Amino acid sequence: MTVHPEGWRKSSRSSKQTSCVEVGRVGDGAAVRDTKNRELGYFTTTRQQWTTFLDAVKNNRFE
């Protein structure tokens, strides 16, 4: 089955920058792609994976 993400969006903090990622909804998860190379496709995550990633970003676990 082919997944078709919907509602692609990028952070409002990225304003007019082109080196960003976009997030779309797929089922009960998320799809992520690079705005510079959309033709390369995207990867998908489950809801739990996406929630865990966002929590790590918000709590500075990548610094």
Residue ranges per structural domain of the chain: 6-58
CA–CA separation, 13 and 58 (whole Å): 15
* CB neighbour list of residue 49: distance below 8 Å, 6 or more residues apart: 29
Whole-model pTM: value is 0.78
Each residue of 4-23: pLDDT tens digit?
Answer: 899 999 877 777 767 788 99
Each residue of 33-44: pLDDT tens digit?
Answer: 998 888 999 999
CA–CA separation, 61 and 16 (whole Å): 27
pLDDT the model gives residue 37: 87
Q: Take residue 45 and report the two structure tokens written for it.
A: 């995550």
CA–CA separation, 30 and 5 (whole Å): 8
